Amino acid sequence: MVLHSGETKRPNRRGGSNPLLDGMNPALAATLTLPHHRLGDEPLPADTALQLVRDELLLDGNARLNLATFVTTWMEPQARELMAECADKNMIDKDEYPQTAELERRCVSILADLWRAPDRDAVIGCSTTGSSEACMLAGMALKRRWSKLGRTGKPNLVMGVNVQVCWEKFCEYWEVEPRLVPMDGDRFHLSAEEAVARCDENTIGVVAILGSTFDGSYEPVAEISAALDEVQERTGWDIPVHVDGASGAMIAPFLDPELEWDFRLPRVASINTSGHKYGLVYPGVGWVLWRHRDALPSELVFNVNYLGGEMPTFALNFSRPGAEVAAQYYTFVRLGREGYRAVQQASRDVATGLAERIGELGPFRLLTRGDELPVFAFTTKPEVTAFDVFDVSRRLRERGWLVPAYTFPDNRTDLAVLRVVCRNGFTHDLADLLIEDLRRALPELEAQTGPSHDPKASTAFHH
């Protein structure tokens, strides 16, 4: 029986049988082809459909060996059970699911405390589908705040060229000029000096990243904030800072408590993070908070009469499952401060240890060492001519490891690197196996007459 376009053969069934219960043929799955362009004519038994789809998904990479993504790939069975129970709850139905809405409110309050808000009761924030939506909302608030000043020029946003692509999307969608600070030499992210040099009276804000997806480094938020204080004293321009803490906002509070990057800095107007990255929750959930209600113009918040209740909402999406918010609250309850500290420290320890061992192998030069985000980037030394980072990435993929190789953006497109992201679930034991596979690959790579990769096909990796 074929279930894609074309003639379809109907299976033989006794009259009156329920097709959803018809699982009598043990070889049924072997006779089927999954639909590619049109629905099949007949339903299938649930177990058969599950087997067919599951078999195709075997072609995906192993999520636990994916060292490319920042996104959480492991949660406890209890968290998965809770998410399954909440999958049918619509987050937007706050009047119908008031306790799910309460869990969201508690998460916002917990994050406000974690990010050192001077007045937690004054903070306003919400959950999102991820950091991309959170960044869009923060950008919208920055632009609306600027427009209320009565300026007539074109608004601009200052940020490093290493920002996640969602910021470039924001500028394109909301007609804001992106003022991207290029990399220069061994400076791979935004500096205070370069940021303020691009600011003017039409700058809606400066985006500082904690930390960069390219190499895992933190941008100097306190230095940028202090430089903007001086700009305001000199010119009167009051330019806010938004901290894109997609990953670092759930690392720094636990591992770098003395680092000033958060609401302790009065110029920091808003912060976002990804609950589904180092917030340790499956995708997709993000969070965005403003230090006080004045930083989020009230006209952007809509009061919607929905299913019998009056509900304030500020989001790009409407319906979405409550499972991820419940899972975020579960993780806060489960770990507490000490649990988060232990998990994030373990990831950093694996990252720094693995980086050190890769540096000792000989052919590689470390750009970062995993001592900020548990993330590090490395490249081949100049004297290595037999292979490049793309050859290494491809060879590791043969063993199941997903280690991305990519070029840096404009001004440093000459630099191609490998990047390793260490997340909860990537252990010292797995790091040992990665080192052994890398050692095993090196003799064959060194025997090559030159790199086998076409550098013109290289693209930057943004995630």
pLDDT one-digit tens code per residue, 180-195: 999 999 999 999 999 9
Residue with tokens 């979405």: 320
Specify the pLDDT at position 10.
47
For the chain, give every residue range classified as CATH 3.40.640.10. 77-331
19-46 per-position pLDDT tens digit: 545 455 667 777 788 899 999 888 888 8
Q: What is the pLDDT of residue 17?
A: 52
**Is CATH 3.40.710.10 correct for 346-457?**
no
How many helical (H) and strand (E) elements, i.e. helices and strands, does the chain have?
Answer: 11, 13
Contacts of 305 (CB under 8 A, 6+ apart): 311
Q: Structure tokens of 148?
A: 């209320």
- Give residue 308's pLDDT: 61
Query: Domain 77-331: which topology?
Result: Aspartate Aminotransferase; domain 2 (3.40.640)
The pLDDT, as a whole number, for residue 305 is 63
Residues of the chain with pLDDT under 50: 1-16, 20, 22, 458-462
Residue ranges, comma separated, of all CATH 3.90.1150.160 domains in the chain are 346-457
pLDDT score of 257: 97
Q: What is the pTM of this model?
A: 0.90
Whole-number pLDDT of residue 32 = 81
CA distances to 26, 83, 274, 318, 321 from 284, rounded to whole Å, are: 37, 12, 8, 14, 10
Per-residue confidence (pLDDT) for residue 381, from 0 to 100: 97
In this prediction, residue 101 carries a pLDDT of 87
Maximum distance among all Cα pairs of the chain, rounded to whole angstroms: 86
Q: pLDDT value at position 6?
A: 44
